[in-house]
């Protein structure tokens, strides 16, 4: 009786591999299998160039855009804020549309001055607006005092002419890196205090603080100590201002949209035009 020949080990491995590949091919052919397969991550989005930051740059990404506010019973006065992002601004058209005040970016950190500053600052004044300037703070670059001095020296001063609003510290999401600029809540509060104290010493005015409640809660621990001295400019793109940061019972200014007419960033001053003039006069 002939002895049966054993199957070669190599052939067994080839057959097993062939069966496995066939099974995988069948699995990938099933509906939805391709979408479940992992995709390699793309490169991170490039950071914007330094100096390009402007008010509300991170509001849409972090807080979203709700409905535009409707007219209310309380008197409010329309205003805009601009930076080099807008370039040359059509101030006569804004004035004709009902905009009566403006804030212009003057400086950022301790390294950038608005390249459109002259046209924007003088242009708003020349059509009759009450105007002021703001500084985009970058607390990881230098001290609050250093940046307050850079701001005042770069166009952020104040004069008692009845047409100049006090300077603004724009403190919000970091477009160039870590949300809180690498600082703890207490370090951030100290930096802001250093800025506003220096600004007051240089100008005699308390700086307005521009921020968003979500950022303020995250990066200052919802510190309440500035509400009695520094007017609040709140960024909230919705039909109401929503929750305010701790310490403030009301906002002085509300940035309610980044998609307004002529220039995107539109605001409502919490009062009639005579209250805007009162803030300018101190």
Q: Which residues form the domain of 123?
A: 59-281
Query: How many structural domains does the chain have?
Result: 1
Catalytic residue, from 108, 172, 206, 265: name it: 172
Residue 33 belongs to some domain of the structure: no
Residue 120 belongs to some domain of the structure: yes
Residue 7 belongs to some domain of the structure: no
Q: Cα dist. 44→41, 47, 115, 233 in Å?
A: 9, 9, 29, 32
Name the pTM for this structure: 0.79
Cα 102 off chain centre by: 18
Catalytic residue, from 81, 108, 206, 265: name it: 81
Per the listing, tokens 């490039």 go with: 46
172 is catalytic: yes
CATH number, domain of 245, equals: 3.20.20.80
Which residues does residue 208 pair with via DSSP β-bridges, in sequence order? Answer: 168
Residue 34 belongs to some domain of the structure: no
With residue 132 as reference, give the H or E element that holds it: strand 130-136
Residue 52 belongs to some domain of the structure: no
Rounded to 10°, the helix 185-203/213-220 angle is 110
Q: Single out the residue of 88, 84, 81, 82 nearest to residue 50, CA to CA.
A: 84
81 is catalytic: yes
Residue 190 belongs to some domain of the structure: yes
Residue 53 belongs to some domain of the structure: no
Q: What pLDDT score was predicted for residue 46?
A: 81
Residue-wise pLDDT tens for the chain (282 aa)? 444 444 444 444 444 445 544 544 444 444 433 333 444 455 666 887 787 677 666 665 555 555 556 555 468 999 999 999 999 999 999 999 999 999 999 999 999 999 999 999 999 999 999 999 999 999 999 999 999 999 999 999 999 999 999 999 999 999 999 999 999 999 999 999 999 999 999 999 999 999 999 999 999 999 999 999 999 999 999 999 999 999 999 999 999 999 999 999 999 999 999 999 999 998
Q: What pLDDT score was predicted for residue 47?
A: 80
Q: Single out the residue of 155, 97, 147 nearest to residue 122, CA to CA.
A: 155
Q: What pLDDT score was predicted for residue 51?
A: 72
């Amino acid at each position: 009786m002939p002895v049966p020949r054993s199957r070669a080990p190599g052939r067994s491995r080839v057959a097993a591999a062939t069966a496995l590949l066939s099974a995988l091919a069948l699995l990938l052919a099933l509906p939805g299998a391709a979408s479940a397969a992992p995709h390699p991550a793309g490169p991170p989005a490039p950071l914007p160039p330094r100096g390009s930051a402007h008010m509300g740059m991170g509001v849409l990404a972090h807080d979203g855009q709700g409905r535009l506010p409707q007219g209310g019973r309380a008197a409010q006065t329309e205003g805009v804020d601009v930076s080099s992002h807008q370039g040359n601004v059509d101030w006569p058209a804004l004035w004709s549309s009902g905009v009566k005040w403006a804030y212009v970016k003057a400086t950022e950190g301790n390294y950038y001055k608005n390249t459109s500053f002259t046209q924007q600052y003088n242009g708003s004044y020349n059509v009759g607006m009450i105007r002021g300037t703001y500084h985009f703070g970058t607390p990881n670059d230098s001290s609050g005092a250093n940046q307050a001095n850079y701001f005042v020296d770069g166009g952020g001063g104040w004069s008692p002419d009845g047409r100049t609003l006090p300077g603004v510290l724009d403190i919000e999401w970091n477009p160039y890196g870590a949300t809180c600029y690498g600082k703890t809540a207490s370090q951030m509060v100290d930096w802001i205090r250093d800025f506003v104290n220096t600004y007051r010493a240089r100008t005699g005015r308390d700086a307005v603080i521009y921020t968003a409640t979500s950022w303020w809660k995250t990066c200052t621990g919802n510190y309440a100590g500035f509400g009695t001295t520094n007017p609040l400019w709140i960024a909230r793109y919705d039909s109401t201002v929503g929750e305010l940061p701790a310490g403030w019972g009301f906002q002085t200014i509300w940035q309610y949209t980044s998609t307004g007419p002529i220039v995107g960033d539109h605001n409502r001053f919490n009062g009639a035009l005579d209250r805007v003039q009162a803030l300018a006069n101190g």
